[in-house]
Amino acid sequence: MTEDWTPPLPPRRELPDAVRARLRARVLGPDHRAPSWLGSGTPLAVAAAVALLVACAAVLMPIGRTVQPGAGVSLRQEESPLDRCWAAVVAAGRTADYPPRASWRIGARFGEVAPIVVAIRTSGRPVLCETTLTAVTVSDPTAPDPGGDGAPLALLATSAGSLGGVVGSRWAAMTVRTADQAPVRPFAVVDGVWLVPTPVARARELPSAQLIGPRREASTTPPVTQDEPVSVLGPGVAVVDRPAATGQRTSPEGRFLGTCIAQSTRPVPDPLSWTAGAMTPSTGDTLVLARSGTALAECAARERDGRSTYEFRVVSPSVVHDRPVRYLRTYRCREGTWVVGVVRGVYATMTVGPPGGGTATEVPLSGGTFALRISDETGDGGPGTLPRGLRVRLLGALEGPYEGELAAS
């Protein structure tokens, strides 16, 4: 029986026209030169080219191609950012300028809640799109093609920190330098499209990029680098599609949040929409939680050598919604150590009791967030960590009481 056995193999597929066209362009395209043995004087370094090409293929997620499945692939039905991006194009009356929606496919996506930025493969030029809590920004589809060797163009550069564009397709990777001259970690160029994986502060102020490659270079020789200026182009569509109320900035928490957002070293999406929640004491090191709709963020100040630095960070949405009460972090400041967290919106009051019994204390909730001072010495993981066994009781008008332990995970 073993002689007849074959491993389970997928059926062969007909080569799609689009794939054949891409292969043809790579193999027989304009970059293809005469073989080196003909002595043409312009030898083709194909053997050298192959190595890096393949190496790149192994680490790049090609734009618009079939996904490599793995543990990180989400099969949940979610609202596609493509729909929201296209709706913005429709709302702006620019559908005639963009490739048809049916041809749009996500090539790369970064971000969980705000900003979410996607590179979109279309039947025409690539499109980049950013969605935040309140707005959508779509790149201009009529931007020029930089060509095989072309310098980078930023098609999407937003105040929320999304940054991406196009560059000559011969480059394998690149990095960008912001106005602060802080280089971003190198990231891949796929089919001439680049997208910075993390939000970039002052994204519209980009003096230069460093291109790494070229793609067709011997693997045995180090990749070459080339500095090029980055031209930043305006977006094709910018629409506020989910207007939100402006968060108040008059209370102490609101004022601190306003300062923290304004001076954050990280870009802040939808800065006006955030409303202050619970806050640790506002002297020296301070942390405030903030809500915008169902989204949650924290903004923290650290004082060093008489100078404060501020950092705003959006919290993963899975943290916010999946439990009645969720511990976020401890925060040590001059007044002691504080535990901050969030409860489901259905609860109105919260009490916390010490481990092993004792009198419970009511903890104020502000927009479903709380800040609770703990003893500096009680943490099980050392000073400043969450003590084990804190008893939480939650009450809500429309929900039965919840009792449980405030746990780190």
Partner 1 sequence: MTITDPSTRGASELDASRTADPDTSLWRRAAAGEREAFGALFERHAEALWNHCYRLTGSWALAEDITSATFLTAWAKVGGITLVRESALPWLYAVAGNIVRTENRRTARFARAVRRLPEDGTAEDHAEAVAHRVDVDRRTREVATAVARLPRAEREAVELCLLGELSTVDAATLLGIAEASVRARLSRARGRLRTLLEVTP
Stretch 207-266 residues interacting with partner 1 (CB under 8 A) = 212, 219, 223
**Parallel, antiparallel, or unpaired for β 193-195 and 163-166?**
antiparallel
Q: Which residue type, as a one-letter code, is found at position 408?
A: A
Residues 286-315 that bind partner 1 (CB under 8 A): none
Sequence-ordered list of residues with C-beta below 8 angstroms from that of 221, at least 6 positions apart, any chain:
48
Minimum CB distance to partner 1, residue 165 (Å):
16
**CA dist., res. 48 & res. 51, Å (int):** 6
Would you say 223 and 217 are in contact if contact means Cβ atoms under 8 Å apart? yes
**CA dist., res. 202 & res. 212, Å (int):** 23
Minimum CB distance to partner 1, residue 389 (Å):
36
Residue 3-22 contact track with partner 1, rule CB under 8 A, x = bound: x-xxxxxxxxxxxx--xx-x
169 secondary structure, DSSP code = T
Q: Which of 153, 154, 172, 333 binds partner 1 (CB under 8 A)?
A: 172
Minimum CB distance to partner 1, residue 241 (Å):
18
37 secondary structure, DSSP code = G
Query: Site for partner 1 (CB under 8 A): how many residues?
Result: 81
Residues 174-203 that bind partner 1 (CB under 8 A): 185-188, 190, 197
Indicate the burial class of 249 (C-beta count within 10 angstroms; 0-12, 13-18, 19 or more).
middle
Residues 44-83 that bind partner 1 (CB under 8 A): 44, 46-47, 49-51, 53-77, 80, 82-83
Minimum CB distance to partner 1, residue 164 (Å):
12
Cβ atoms < 10 Å from Cβ of 72: 7
Cβ atoms < 10 Å from Cβ of 91: 14
Cβ atoms < 10 Å from Cβ of 275: 21
* 3-state class (DSSP) for residue 128: strand
Is 397 one of the binding residues for partner 1 (CB under 8 A)? no
Residues 90-119 that bind partner 1 (CB under 8 A): 104-110
Minimum CB distance to partner 1, residue 174 (Å):
9
Nearer to partner 1 (CB atom), residue 7 or residue 41: 7
Nearer to partner 1 (CB atom), residue 1 or residue 96: 1
Minimum CB distance to partner 1, residue 152 (Å):
16
